[in-house]
Structure 1
C-alpha cells in the first residue's frame, strides 16, 4: 500500500514538473518560422472585414514587397470580440499570432493578460520618435507614461446630417446644431415638415456613444481618474453628465423625434441614406461609404454637447496593434519592422484616404493622396478638427477597465429600455449598479 502511494505521488510530482517546464519555456516554445527563401514569418491577426479588411491586406502586401527580410501573414479573425476570444484560447500556444489587432476597450485586459510585450520596449530600444505621432491618439494607449500598443485604426464619433433635408425644412445646412437643445429643435422642424414617418435624429444603440457624450462634458466613466491612477471601484456613468444624456434621449423619444433603429450600425446608416432620419451619430470609419452612397449632400458636425457647456472633445475609437511576448526575439524584431512601417507618413496617408480612419502620424496630412481625399470629401475634416480640438484629460483619454465589453452591454440594455418607455434616471442607475457588480467581480477574480 505504501509503495503504491509513493509511486502515485512520484507520478503526480513528475507530471507537475513537466507541466511547469512546458509553461516556463515561454519564448523558446515557439520556433522562428521562415519562408523557403529565408524571410521571417510574422502572423498578424486582424479584425476588419469588407473594404476595411481589403485595405489591411493591401498595406500588408505593400510591406512584404518593400523588403526581403520579413513576410507578414495577415489572417482575418472575425469581429473584435471574436478575435479576442480566439486569442484567449490560443495565447501561449504555437497557433497564437505574433501581432494582434485589439479594439480600444480591450486595453486594460491586454495589459494585465500576460500575453504581451509593451510597445515601449521596442520604442526605447530603437529610439523610435513618438513625437511624430498624434498625442491625442497616443494618450489612450499610454498608461503611466508607457505605450503598450501601437495605434492602428483610429476613429471618433461625429454627427452626420442631410443638408438637402435641412434646406427643405427651413434649416441652415451650413450651420448644424451644436447643443442638445439645438438638435432637438432641428429634429422637431424636420418631423414637422416631413411628417411622422421621418425622424429628426437617431443614435445606434451602442455603449460607445454614452462614453463619448459623458467625456465630451468632461465626465469620467469610472473613479480613480477613469481607472488610470488606480484600479476602478465604481462607475460614474450615472453622474450628472450621464443623466443629462439619458434625459435628452428620453425627451426626444417622448416627442417622437428620436428614431429607434436598434443595435446594428448599418440599420441607422440605411435609414439615413433612405432619408427616414435626418441626423444621426456615427463613427468616422464609415463616413466614406455614407458620403459616396448618398443621393443627397451629406454634412458633418461635431458631437453635440449639453447646453451651457464647452465641449471637451472625444475619446478615440478603433483598435491598436499588440506584440505577443511568448515568441522568439527574432520574430518580435521582424514584427516591429512591420509595425514601424504601418506608422510611416505615406502609409498612414494612404490608409486614411482609403478607409476614413485618422492617420496616427502628423506628417501624413502633408501627403498629396490625403490632401486630395480631403479636397474631394471635406466632410472628413470635421472629425480631424474635433480630434485636434480635444483636450487631453482623464475623461477624453478614455476609461481603463477590465470588463468594458460587459459594461457596454449594461449601457445598451439601459438605452433600449428608454426606447421602451423607461424612466431615464432609473435606467442609468440600474446600469451603474450592474457595472459596479462587474467591477467588483473582476477585482475579486483578479486579486493578486
Structure 2
C-alpha cells in the first residue's frame, strides 16, 4: 500500500499549492478592482488614476518668423497643461488653409481648431461645421471685457461671437525718413491725405528712386472704402442680412482707384503688371520711398532694413479729413469645429483663452507687429520697453484707437469674399495698366462678384 499512498500524496500537495495561489490571485483582483472604484486614498501607496490627455490639432497660417512665435506659444501651453496637448500644423496661406478646411468638412481628418482670415467669417458661419465661441463663453460666464471691443466686433454677427480673435492688424504707410529729409519733407510728419501723398511722391521720385510702390491688393481698396465711411457690401456690410451687392464700384472706390492710377500715370508710383508684390524688398533696398503694408510686416521690415535708414510709419491715407471713420481690423481668428468630441472642443477653448492672455499677446505683438487683442498687454513692461525702442509699433495702435466703431470699419461679411478679392485685383490691374477706366474696371468686377454672391446665397436655402 505504501507505493500507492506515495503516488497520491504528490498530486494532492501540488493541488493544495495551486488552490492557495488561486485564492490569493482572486483576492488581489477583487481588492484591485475595489481600489479603482474607490480611487487611491492618501497614503495607501497607490498611484492616482491617469487622466486622459486631450489632443487638439490646430491648423494655422503663420509662416516664417511668425510661425516660430506660434510654436513658442504652443510649447508654453503644453508645458503648463499636462492634460491637453496642442499640435500646431502650418497649412499654407490663409487661402490655402480655408481651401483645405472646406475639403475636410464632413470627414474626420480635419482640425479641432483652425485659424481663418477675417474674410472667411461668413462662410464659416454658414458651414454649420463650427461651435460658436459664444457657447463656451456663456457656459462659464467668461469675462470678455478684457479684450478689445473693436476687434471683437468684426467677428460678432448679430449678438453672437463666432470665433476668438487671435492676430489683429491694419494697413500702414511705411516710408524712408532719410529720403523724406533729403526731399525737403518733414520726416516726422508722414502724409495723410491723398493729395499729400501725391505731392510727397512727386518730390521723392528722382535719381532712380520711385516715390511710391503700392502692391496690387484688394485689401487696400477695401480699407480706402472703410476710411471714407463707405460699406463694402449692402445689408449693413452684410451684418443686417445676407449681402447681395458688392459696392466697391461706388463713389468711394472709384475715387481711390482714380487717385492711385494718377500716381502711376505721373510716373511717381511704380506699377508691376502681372508681377508679385516685391515692394518690401524694393523699400529695404532703397529703390522706393513709400509703400503700403500690414502692421504684421513691421518686425520683418525693420529686420530687413537692418538700420540702413530709419523707417517711418504713418496712418493709411484718406481722401479727406472726415470724423467718425477709420480703417478696419484685419488679421484672423480661431474657430472650433463641431465634429470633434465635446472634451476635445473644451480643450481647444482652454487653449484659445490662453492665447488671449496679456502675457501671450505681448509675446506675439513684440515679435510680429500684430497689435494685442488683450488691452492689459499694453501695461506690461516688455511691451512698454519695445515701444520705447521701436516707436513704429505705436502707429498701428494709434490708428486702431482713432477709428470709430461703425459698420464700415467692422468690415464686410460675405460668403464669396476670397473670390471677390481676386476679381477686385484683376480690376485694379485693368485700371492701372490703362486698359479700362477705374469706373469700368470696378463695374465689371462688381457684376462678377454679384453673380457669385447670388449663386452662393442660393445654396443656403
TM-score normalised over the length of structure 2: 0.86
User: Once the two structures are superposed, what CA deviation does each residue of 1:175-194 show, in whole Å capped at 9, x if it has no partner?
Assistant: 11110000000000111xx2
Residue aligned with 1:226, SS: helix
1:330 alignment partner in structure 2: 343
User: Of the candidates 197, 204, 207, which is equivalent to residue 218 of structure 2?
Assistant: 207
2:125 alignment partner in structure 1: 111
Q: Residues of 2 paired with 1:447 and 1:120: CA distance?
A: 22
User: Of the candidates 240, 249, 254, which is equivalent to residue 265 of structure 2?
Assistant: 254
Q: What is the count of residue pairs matched by the alignment?
A: 409
Instruction: Say if 2:56 and 2:344, in contact at 8 Å, map to a contact too.
Output: yes
Instruction: Give the 5 Å matches for 1:138-217.
Output: 138-191=152-205, 194-195=206-207, 197-217=208-228
2:91 alignment partner in structure 1: 77
TM-superposed deviation, 1:67:
2.0
Residue aligned with 1:313, SS: coil
Q: Residues of 2 paired with 1:293 and 1:94: CA distance?
A: 42
For structure 1, which runs of at least 5 residues remain unmatched after alignment? 1-35
TM-superposed deviation, 1:418:
2.1
User: Of the candidates 222, 233, 236, which is equivalent to residue 222 of structure 1?
Assistant: 233
1:339 alignment partner in structure 2: 352
TM-superposed deviation, 1:69:
1.2
User: Of the candidates 77, 89, 93, which is equivalent to residue 107 of structure 2?
Assistant: 93
TM-superposed deviation, 1:107:
0.3
Q: Residues of 2 paired with 1:98 and 1:121: CA distance?
A: 16
Instruction: Say if 1:205 and 1:263, in contact at 8 Å, map to a contact too.
Output: no
User: Of the candidates 385, 389, 394, which is equivalent to residue 372 of structure 1?
Assistant: 385
2:288 matches 1:277: yes
Q: Residues of 1 paired with 2:273 and 2:240: CA distance?
A: 35
2:405 matches 1:388: no
2:81 alignment partner in structure 1: 67
1:286 alignment partner in structure 2: 297
Greater CA radius of gyration, 1 or 2? Answer: 2
Q: Residues of 2 paired with 1:263 and 1:73: CA distance?
A: 38
Instruction: Say if 2:126 and 2:460, in contact at 8 Å, map to a contact too.
Output: no
2:131 matches 1:120: no
Instruction: Say if 2:238 and 2:414, in contact at 8 Å, map to a contact too.
Output: yes
Compare 260-269 and 217-226 and name the one that shifted more: 260-269
TM-superposed deviation, 1:92:
3.1
Instruction: Say if 1:204 and 1:264, in contact at 8 Å, map to a contact too.
Output: no
TM-score normalised over the length of structure 1: 0.89
TM-superposed deviation, 1:436:
1.4
2:446 matches 1:420: no
**Distance change (3 Å), C-alpha of 1:347 and 1:265:** farther
Q: Residues of 2 paired with 1:322 and 1:117: CA distance?
A: 8
For structure 2, which runs of at least 5 residues remain unmatched after alignment? 1-49
Compare 289-298 and 393-402 and name the one that shifted more: 289-298
Q: Residues of 1 paired with 2:154 and 2:319: CA distance?
A: 24
Q: Residues of 2 paired with 1:263 and 1:166: CA distance?
A: 29
**Distance change (3 Å), C-alpha of 1:318 and 1:264:** farther
Q: Residues of 1 paired with 2:323 and 2:268: CA distance?
A: 25
Residue aligned with 2:336, SS: strand
Q: Residues of 2 paired with 1:383 and 1:265: CA distance?
A: 25
TM-superposed deviation, 1:261:
4.0
2:361 matches 1:362: no
**Distance change (3 Å), C-alpha of 1:292 and 1:390:** same
Residue aligned with 2:278, SS: helix
User: Of the candidates 346, 349, 352, which is equivalent to residue 362 of structure 2?
Assistant: 349
Q: Residues of 2 paired with 1:247 and 1:311: CA distance?
A: 24
Q: Residues of 2 paired with 1:67 and 1:198: CA distance?
A: 53
Q: Residues of 1 paired with 2:274 and 2:119: CA distance?
A: 18
Instruction: Say if 2:273 and 2:433, in contact at 8 Å, map to a contact too.
Output: no
